[in-house]
């Protein structure tokens, strides 16, 4: 219509000319309007995209498949608006929300030593030496709390000490405590209230605490106590939290990834552990079935093929992640419909990335929450001074050494900012089942002949009797060896570097007398000792002490012909002891060294005794090589029969019975080669080995087996491994020494020596 009006006022030629000029003048404006219109359309399209909630289910090590799914989402440019996870899915979700890329996540989880992470204590070489001494006598796992309320037990095989510190380092807590509500990507982590049996959803609070609570497999890991609740694995109530993701960000589309373990088959259920596992799997499958029923046609369900991958296969992280990649690629067409432009995805990525500041300089170190333990004991382990930056590997190592003192359920930390000051707050949580404990030990040592020993041990220990850490240990032993004793240990300074100790012991043990591989007699030797001394703790390396020891000795003939004089002997003297241990394990070490040098001088009885020995261990792959030497003798005079050296028994001249070789000036050495043929599951330290030992000994003045002259040989082959009752050996020893046709023994050993 407008055209007609203009056409009546001008001629056709002029109209065309004016039209051309007008188009030239208006072209830039038209182009700008068109671009603006296109941009508006694009933004509208981006804004109109469906809101996406990502759900990562629990499944232990099978949860590494989530990383592969995230890699595909990243490759296809699929943004998410919130993420919810349970158990291992909660770990991956938390790390993802904290800003780690899938590639970084894959690398960090793959290089983690998960077998070590499920070991609470630091390397044995880094534990407090006081605790090492206890573990030599009593089973480490036997600790039972006792108090006015009765007997109390540790609530899991693993307290999760190393796991929590690993989480802290993974999400960057050493730069400042990470709070869920402060993360740019909305996050929900599911746990279970053990008391109420209800679902607990973490939408705020400490990120790593939520991750740790969600992974607390009942029976394996201790519950997390927070917010007045005791929390365990969220998989018991909501292993694939679809509804949570839908409500967390009003998701239009849910991408749900299920990595749960299938139910065990009938032939796979054969013991208590498998029955317990099946019960947990049944509970999990029930809530997963309910959750999957809420999926809508618009949702995307991903279930990776994880056949052959168990919940404990953490060493297969990369392989499992690859299976997640394949599962996500199988639904690529549906995922592609959720993709956004490169610019939009870059903007989303920038939005969820967390700017990671450098580790702050610390203005103050605080030790918080202690009730019994002197804070100075913890401070002695923390080498962070005002002005230092937090080094995550260093702080983890220091907190593990503090944990190795044996007084805490866990030792955690947080970096807080208060009034523009950075505070490193260390929070040791004292054992809820302490400070008084019952400890147990067993011993079985037999050559399937007459010479066998067995014993059951029990002890009552009171710790932190005063602010310096005084300890009282009362113990008893019944069996072929019997005894009672009382030890009192009193540190003299807050850091527990110096101490005094009093020991009282009374008991009896069997001792055989041998000649030409025949037991001629067996005595029950009644022994008593009263000792008082002072010493110094040499950090985690060892201990040195000196003092006075008073001893009583009385042999009583049990069987055979008399050999020892029928007399009672009392003798006293000065003693000194240096005990150093830097092996990585108490039993079946793979590396390190240990040495002991003890000296006793009895002026009234004109003799002294030197008892010294040392061992070294080195591993190459699955092979462990070791060597041990020892000496027992008297630099002054000659060892009397009542304090003679002795050899015999498993890996102590294996071809001979326990104590078969007795005498003065006894030298012993061995070299061993062992191959690791199996390892205990997560939460249990130790392995199974087959071994060969070449042994040799020389007795300067023999009191038994007097026909054996010079160096005596022994060869041992054995099967050994660590069990919940201590080390186990089954071995055979043979010696060609002597003129009686050789010596041999078959040994079974179980328990603490």
Active site (catalytic) residues:
87, 233
For 312, the token pair is 């404990």
Q: How far apart are CA 290 and CA 409, in angstroms?
A: 36
Burial of 22 (0-12, 13-18, 19+ CB in 10 A): exposed
Helix (H) or strand (E) holding 399: helix 392-403
For 213, the token pair is 């609570």
Q: Are 304 and 259 a contacting pair, CB within 8 Å?
A: yes
Residue appearing with tokens 């080390």: 727
**Residue 163, helix vs strand vs coil:** helix
Q: How far apart are CA 746 and CA 753, in angstroms?
A: 17
Q: Are 617 and 670 a contacting pair, CB within 8 Å?
A: no
Question: Cα separations (Å) of 399 from 367, 422, 586, 717?
Answer: 12, 19, 21, 41
Q: Are 599 and 575 a contacting pair, CB within 8 Å?
A: yes
Give which of 247, 242, 233, 383 is closest to 311, Cα–Cα: 233
Give which of 235, 249, 210 is closest to 60, Cα–Cα: 235
DSSP string spanning 121-154? S--GGGS-HHHHHHHHHS-GGG-EEEETTEEE--
For 221, the token pair is 């890991």
Q: How far apart are CA 334 and CA 330, in angstroms?
A: 9
Residue appearing with tokens 């069990």: 723
Q: How far apart are CA 498 and CA 641, in angstroms?
A: 35
DSSP string spanning 307-376? TT--TT-GGGHHHHHHHHHHHHHTTHHHHHTT---HHHHHHHHHHH----PPPPBPSEEEE-S-SSS-HH
Phi, psi of 190 (to 5 degrees): -100, 135
Spatial neighbors of 88 by CB under 8 A, at least 6 apart, are: 58, 59, 60, 61, 62, 63, 64, 66, 215, 259
Q: Are 450 and 211 a contacting pair, CB within 8 Å?
A: no
Q: How far apart are CA 304 and CA 301, in angstroms?
A: 10
């Amino acid at each position: 219509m407008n055209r007609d009006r203009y056409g009546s006022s001008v001629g056709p030629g002029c109209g065309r000319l004016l039209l051309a000029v007008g188009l030239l003048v208006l072209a830039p404006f038209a182009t700008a309007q068109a671009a603006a219109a296109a941009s508006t359309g694009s933004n509208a399209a981006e804004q109109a995209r469906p809101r996406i909630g990502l759900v990562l289910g629990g499944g232990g090590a099978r949860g590494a498949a989530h990383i592969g799914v995230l890699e595909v989402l990243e490759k296809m440019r699929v943004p998410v608006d919130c993420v919810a996870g349970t158990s291992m899915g909660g770990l991956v979700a938390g790390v993802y929300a904290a800003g780690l890329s899938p590639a970084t996540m894959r690398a960090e989880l793959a290089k983690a030593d998960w077998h070590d992470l499920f070991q609470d204590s630091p390397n044995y070489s880094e534990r407090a030496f006081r605790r090492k001494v206890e573990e030599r006598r009593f089973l480490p796992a036997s600790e039972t709390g006792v108090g006015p309320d009765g007997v109390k037990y540790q609530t899991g095989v693993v307290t999760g000490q190393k796991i929590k510190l690993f989480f802290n380092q993974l999400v960057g807590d050493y730069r400042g405590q990470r709070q869920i509500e402060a993360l740019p990507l909305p996050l929900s982590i599911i746990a279970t209230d053990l008391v109420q049996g209800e679902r607990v959803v973490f939408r705020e609070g400490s990120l790593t605490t939520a991750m740790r609570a969600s992974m607390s497999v009942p029976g394996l890991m201790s519950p997390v106590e927070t917010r007045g609740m005791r929390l365990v694995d969220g998989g018991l109530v909501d292993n694939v939290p679809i509804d949570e993701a839908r409500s967390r960000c009003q998701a239009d589309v849910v991408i749900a990834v299920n990595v749960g373990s299938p139910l065990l088959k009938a032939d796979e259920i054969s013991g208590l552990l498998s029955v317990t596992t099946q019960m947990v799997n049944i509970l999990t499958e029930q809530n997963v079935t309910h959750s999957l029923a809420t999926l809508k046609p618009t949702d995307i369900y991903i279930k990776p093929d994880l056949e052959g991958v168990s919940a404990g296969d953490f060493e297969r992280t990369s392989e499992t992640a690859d299976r997640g990649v394949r599962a996500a690629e199988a639904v690529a067409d549906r995922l592609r419909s959720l993709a956004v432009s490169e610019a939009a995805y870059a903007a989303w990525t920038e939005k969820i990335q967390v700017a990671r500041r450098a580790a702050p300089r610390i203005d103050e170190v605080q030790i918080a929450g202690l009730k019994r333990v002197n804070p100075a004991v913890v401070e002695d382990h923390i080498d962070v001074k005002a002005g230092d930056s937090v080094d995550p590997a260093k702080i983890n190592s220091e907190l593990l050494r503090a944990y190795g003192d044996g007084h805490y359920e866990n030792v955690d930390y947080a970096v807080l900012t208060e009034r523009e000051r950075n505070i490193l707050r260390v929070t040791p949580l004292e054992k809820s089942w302490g400070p008084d404990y019952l400890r147990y030990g067993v011993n079985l040592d037999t050559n399937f002949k007459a010479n066998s020993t067995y014993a059951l041990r029990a002890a009552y220990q009171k710790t932190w009797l005063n602010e310096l850490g005084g300890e009282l240990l009362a113990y008893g032993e019944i069996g072929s060896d019997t005894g009672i004793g009382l030890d009192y240990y009193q540190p003299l300074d807050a850091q527990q570097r110096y101490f005094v100790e009093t020991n009282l012991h009374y008991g009896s043990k069997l001792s055989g007398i041998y000649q030409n591989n025949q037991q001629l007699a067996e005595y029950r030797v009644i022994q008593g000792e009263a000792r008082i001394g002072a010493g110094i703790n040499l950090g985690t390396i060892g201990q040195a002490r000196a003092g006075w020891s008073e001893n009583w000795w009385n042999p009583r003939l049990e069987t055979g012909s008399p050999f020892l004089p029928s007399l009672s002997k009392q003798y006293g003297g000065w003693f000194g002891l240096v005990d150093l241990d830097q092996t990585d394990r108490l039993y079946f070490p793979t590396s390190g060294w240990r040495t002991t040098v003890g000296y006793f001088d009895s002026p009234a009885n004109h003799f002294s005794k030197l008892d010294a020995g040392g061992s070294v261990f080195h591993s190459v792959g699955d092979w462990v090589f070791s060597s041990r030497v020892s000496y027992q003798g008297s630099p002054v005079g000659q060892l009397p029969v009542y304090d003679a050296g002795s050899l015999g028994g498993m890996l102590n001249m294996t071809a001979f019975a326990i104590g078969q070789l007795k005498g003065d000036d006894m030298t012993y050495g061995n070299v061993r080669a062992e191959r690791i043929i199996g390892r205990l599951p997560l939460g249990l330290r130790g392995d199974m080995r087959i071994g060969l030992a070449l042994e040799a000994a020389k007795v300067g003045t023999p009191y038994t087996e007097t026909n054996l002259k010079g160096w005596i040989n022994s060869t041992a082959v054995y099967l050994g491994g660590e069990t919940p009752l201590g080390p186990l050996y089954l071995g055979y020893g043979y010696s060609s020494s002597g003129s009686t046709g050789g010596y041999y023994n078959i040994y079974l050993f179980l328990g603490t020596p």
